């Protein structure tokens, strides 16, 4: 809620932030999942998101923000935009593209010696979603990523992250 208010206030003076806020709104409205994990979705649910014109518009807006804002946006804004685009691609079943972006977000966030709130948020959720995608192919690596995501969630008191990591333990059946 507070994040959304900040985005709205910032978007009044910054056209790129306005595009980002519009993309997030479209993604939240037309691309949300009725379940926690990608593997729980039916092919029909994935196609509904993949073929939605508003999701395509959101993707285009994210890409415009990244292209136009490469030199003018803060590192945190770029990281957030890349994470949101990765999540959007993930929800469309474009797993390879999403994986590449999640890895890029993680790599960028790990470069910071003093991580910001934005960087920790993006790192936490990129690790979580990448762990979800990696679980079948490399269970041990995925469990380590879930553990790191959980540690960040607990340290930063991210309620959504704490909840998602508990769901992951139940769904994927690990400790």
Q: Which two tokens stand for residue 67?
A: 């292209």
Task: Return the minimum-mean-pLDDT range out of 47-56, 67-76, 84-93.
Answer: 67-76
| Mean pLDDT within 45-63 | 93
Q: Is the pLDDT of residue 10 over 90?
A: no
What superfamily does domain 2-172 belong to in CATH? Answer: Tetratricopeptide repeat domain (1.25.40.10)
Domain limits, the chain: 2-172
Q: 3-state DSSP call for residue 90?
A: helix
How many Cα atoms within 13 Å fall on the side-chain side of residue 127? 27
């Amino acid at each position: 809620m507070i994040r959304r208010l900040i985005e709205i206030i910032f978007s009044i003076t910054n056209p790129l932030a306005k595009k980002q806020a519009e993309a997030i709104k479209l993604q939240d409205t037309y691309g949300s999942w009725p379940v926690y994990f990608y593997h729980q979705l039916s092919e029909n649910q994935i196609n509904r998101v993949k073929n939605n014109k508003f999701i395509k518009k959101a993707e285009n807006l994210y890409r415009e923000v990244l292209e136009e804002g490469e030199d003018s946006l803060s590192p945190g804004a770029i990281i957030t935009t890349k994470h949101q685009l990765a999540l959007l691609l993930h929800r469309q079943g474009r797993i390879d593209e999403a994986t590449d972006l999640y890895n890029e977000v993680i790599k960028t966030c790990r470069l910071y010696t003093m991580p910001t709130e934005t960087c920790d948020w993006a790192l936490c959720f990129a690790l979580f979603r990448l762990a979800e995608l990696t679980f079948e192919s490399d269970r041990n690596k995925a469990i380590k990523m879930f553990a790191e995501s959980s540690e960040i969630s607990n340290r930063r008191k991210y309620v959504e992250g704490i909840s998602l990591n508990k769901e992951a333990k139940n769904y994927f059946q690990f400790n």
